[in-house]
Chains A and B, each alone.
Chain A
Amino acid sequence: MTEATIAPAARRRPRITLGRVLLYVLLAVGALIMVFPFIWTIVTSITPGATLTTTPRLIPENPSLSPYLELFSRVPFGRVILNSLLIAVVSTLLQLVTSAMAAYVFARMPFRGRGAIFVLYLATMMIPFQVLIVPLFAEMKTLGLINTYLGAILPTIASAFGVFLLRQAMSTVPYDLDQAATLDGAGHFRIFFQIMLPLVRPALATLAVFAFLNTWNSFLWPLIILRDPLMQTLPVALSSLQGQYSTQWDVLMAGSVVSIIPMFALYVFAQKYIVQGVAGTGLK
């Protein structure tokens, strides 16, 4: 590998070396392996009547968008996408807020028993969700939240993953910054909003991507809590295509493509912030 691979510090002009060329080749081959299944998904989605027993080909025989049309006629698609978007957006926003606030306490506000509470947060990630479904469903029934957006969203608004991710990011912010702010008379709220949040923007963007990803792709809980077909989310609607009349792979793959697009758009958008880093934050 070349010297230039390591550093944002490499400000000099990159030289063309053998190592650099090798790196490019390696990265490109790797990227092809990564993208291949996705290309295959797209090709299958425009090959009407595609089956999985035939050898997959990368150039479709009679490409057509009819699988997409069939997809849109099979499920109330507009409504389903709207359901998914609503749940994912609301849940992501709430997760960002609740996680950042808790992370600030775990990074900056010591008190007796804080370590134990942090372990309690982490513990919520340690039990398989499969075993929580039955009691959680019973709880939602008592609350009268079956078949409601609220019932789908509520269990996802707090995330130990998010708290942990942001705590790690906030822990690396130098204390000098908040000490200076404290001397200026700033309280915790101002330090949180004006120093911490801008400085951990890359981590916030990362969390936004993963929070959205998780709720957008979430299958088991929406399947159980949202019974009405008009309330269904995208993954649940897609799964109902599977086996309804023996699986139509072209239609299913069209659905997969549609479900990946918003996710990918968000990632491309957030990437700017994820990699913005030190340069834009005044921390130097």
Chain B
Amino acid sequence: MTTLTLRSAGADAATPPRATGRRRPPKGKRLKYALTVAVFLLPSLIPLLAFVIGPMISAAWTSLHSWNLIGPMQWVGLDNYAHLLTDPQTQQAFLHTIYYIVGYLPLVYVGGLGLALALNAKLRGRALLRGAYFLPVITSWVVVALVWRWLLSPSNGVVNGVLGWFGIAGPGWWSDPAWAMPSIIFASAWKDLGFVMVILLAGLQSINPDLYEAAELDGAGWWRRLFGVTLPLLSPSTFFVVVLSLINGFQVFDQVYVMTGGGPNNSSQVVVQQVYDLTFRYGQAGAASALSWMLFFVILVVTLIQFYGQRRWVNYD
């Protein structure tokens, strides 16, 4: 990766207009500018270096060893990576994770957008409704998973009961290998809807109302205003939601751990669940670190692609 790609990946729209072609300011001014940047940046940069990036590098070192967390580390070079790359279980875990993301992201974004739009309008009782949709976000996964396991219970669950009224025989949900992942996806989208709603609501609030009036005067209907005004102006928030959902989606763990534990039959085993199993069940800290770094690399590439693509559709200012 060259500096150039990184620069253009992150520089995006946050460069002020007319900054190009300006002459270099005098030295004293540049020093003051650099100092100001440092004062603003260091309070977050130092803790991140000390408590995240440091341990990350340490994990990279561990990934080159065989280590059971207790005994001495044994140097194995790139063996952990070589083994994981050809390990069918690891490939499965990556596929399941991608399956999760592909199902989860459209569901939670479209649902969250619909909610944000509906609850941004002047509705009676909208504060109450917003509160209701936010409740799952603040409820712990342990409680949520318990409830969903019960709702989706194959024999006496509410969902299959309702389906039964319409003469549909519901599937086995989390106890059926084919339906375990969809169950996790539904529960996750249900829990995170309120999160997406709040982010998009904050974005909607910063759209200048005059623009809607102008569009309305031009005779634009609801859909035209949605695609012509709302979505373009909401694009920074959308970008944030998509980038973040992908970063978090690749690391999906809590809900899998409490709902299915990766089963049945490994059908919902995801990457971080495997990191967890490798570390705490099989005592293979080296392999777990290697798998984490592989995951890191995948997420980094996916994120950089999005930052590259953003100038095509994300609208700042």
Q: Does A180 reach chain B (CB closer than 8 Å)?
A: no
Please tell me the size bucket of the interface on A. 35 or more
Q: Which of A113, A115, A268, A277 counts the most chain B CB atoms within 10 A? A: A115
Interface of B is mostly: helix
**In the complex, residue of chain A having the shortest beta-carbon distance to the beta carbon of B239:** A168
Q: Does B140 reach chain A (CB closer than 8 Å)?
A: yes
Q: Is the CB of A154 within 8 A of B19?
A: no
Q: Is the CB of B7 within 8 A of A115?
A: yes
Check A275/B59 contact, CB under 8 A, given A34-B133, A101-B41, A168-B237: no
Q: Does A7 reach chain B (CB closer than 8 Å)?
A: yes
Which of B11, B198, B230, B272 interacts with A115 by CB under 8 Å?
Answer: B11
Q: Is the CB of B236 within 8 A of A171?
A: yes
Q: List the one stretch of A65-73, A80-88, A201-209 in contact with chain B.
A: A201-209
Q: Is the CB of B251 within 8 A of A128?
A: yes
Residues from chain B with Cβ under 8 Å of A23 in the complex: 118, 123
Give CA–CA (A161, B243) in the complex, Å: 11
Residues from chain A with Cβ under 8 Å of B253 in the complex: 128, 130
Q: Does A248 reach chain B (CB closer than 8 Å)?
A: no
Q: Does A64 reach chain B (CB closer than 8 Å)?
A: no
Q: Mark A148-192, 1 if CB is under 8 A from B, else 0.
A: 000000110111110111011101111100000000000111001
Q: Is the CB of B202 within 8 A of A235?
A: no
Q: Is the CB of A126 within 8 A of B52?
A: no
A1-16, CB < 8 A from B: 1-10, 14
Q: Is the CB of A136 within 8 A of B37?
A: no
Q: Is the CB of A119 within 8 A of B289?
A: no
Q: Is the CB of B240 within 8 A of A37?
A: no
Give CA–CA (A25, B271) in the complex, Å: 40
Q: Is the CB of A131 within 8 A of B288?
A: yes
Give CA–CA (A213, B167) in the complex, Å: 42
**In the complex, residue of chain A having the shortest beta-carbon distance to the beta carbon of B56:** A127
Residues from chain B with Cβ under 8 Å of A97 in the complex: 43
Give CA–CA (A279, B210) in the complex, Å: 12
CB of B22, distance to nearest CB on chain A (Å): 11
